[in-house]
Amino acid sequence: ISKENSSSMKEFILLGLSENQGVQKIYFVVFLLLYTLTVAGNLLIVLTVTSSRHLNSPMYFFLCHLSFVDICYSSVTAPQMISGFLVENNTISFAGCIGQLFGVHFFGCTEIFILTAMAYDRYVAICRPLRYPALVSRRLCGRMVRGSWAGGFLHSILQTLPTALLPFCGPNKVEHYFCDVHPLLHLACADTRAAGLAAVANSGVISLSCFLILVTSYVTILVSLRGQTLARWHKALSTCGSHVIVVILFFGPCTFVYIRPSSDLSEDKSVAVFYTLVTPLLNPLIYTLRNGEVKGAIRRLCRRKV
């Protein structure tokens, strides 16, 4: 028994999205395609923004960092999940599991803060256009991005350390396709109610508070447009439309999973697909298809490479 417990301490088995062999083969093709498109699309955005002299406004500065975070975020979970569809037992070492837990929360929280910074940029651009250069300077944008990375790191440390210090001596099968707090708490050989509440308070409060800040900013924008011309309304909505879509797609599933104590892990892992893989895939599509400047810069970049 002690040998078995020692072995289970060294590695976990990720059960993935399905244990059906036929379904796993389909999932392998689908998710490999999604991950490839995610990396390619976001890498194209990063290359386009960094190489274009025309895309030098704060909005594109944030968009470039958002795309870079999306590449890292999806890369933390997708490769392990995709390779798991080809093997009978998708194992991950204890250190690898904790590292994956850290990465998921680090990049996920950083993305939340960058999206919040982008909302501030859009608010000032629409409601304070004359003071925009002073209120959204290059220095401030740099500070907000650095603050986003620092905030994501602090959040991830607070999520990872308490989980890593828990004793794991029983079953080692993780009811998920990546290592996350709630599935690991179910495997710990200790009372995890306090750790579970702390995890909900940490992730849930960040997700919900940032979401409320975003909603407040958009409500303020709409209120400020009262009595404005139809052209001004159209310009404001087109400016914010892409960001609103991304916020809904990311914060909806993310808040659903982390704002409450988890009881149905199979439901959680299905919802997690949206904010770990689907949203990072859609971000470059949403911002590109709705933005003529980005599409023009991509065409110029492709012609230059050809």
What is residue 175's predicted lDDT score, i.e. its pLDDT?
Answer: 87
Task: With beta carbons less than 8 A apart as the criterion, state whether 136 and 124 touch.
Answer: yes
Name all domains of the chain by residue range, CATH numbers in brackets.
11-304 (1.20.1070.10)
Q: Measured between alpha carbons, how far is 264 from 118 in angstroms, rounded to an integer?
A: 33
Q: What is the pLDDT of residue 101?
A: 94
pLDDT score, position 1: 35
Q: What is the per-residue pLDDT for 6?
A: 37
Identify the DSSP state of 14. Answer: E
Residue 12's DSSP bridge partners are 92
pLDDT at residue 97 in the model: 93
> What pLDDT score does 8 carry?
46
Q: What is the pLDDT of residues 246-274, one digit of tens each?
A: 888 888 888 777 776 666 667 778 888 88
Confirm if 93 and 11 have CB atoms less than 8 A apart: yes
β-pair type (11-14, 90-93): antiparallel
The radius of gyration computed from the CA coordinates of the chain, to the nearest angstrom, equals 21
pTM for the whole structure: 0.87
d(CA 192, CA 166): 8
- What pLDDT shows up at residue 114? 93
Closest CA to 197 of 275, 259, 132: 259
Per-residue pLDDT tens for 185-234? Answer: 888 888 888 888 888 888 878 888 888 888 888 888 888 777 777 776 77
Q: Which residues of 25-49 are buried (b: 16+ CB within 10 A; e: fewer)?
A: eebbeebbebbeebbebbebbbbbb
Which regions in the chain score pLDDT beneath 70? Answer: 1-9, 232, 235-236, 238-239, 260-265, 289-292, 304-306
According to the model, what pLDDT value does residue 290 have?
Answer: 62
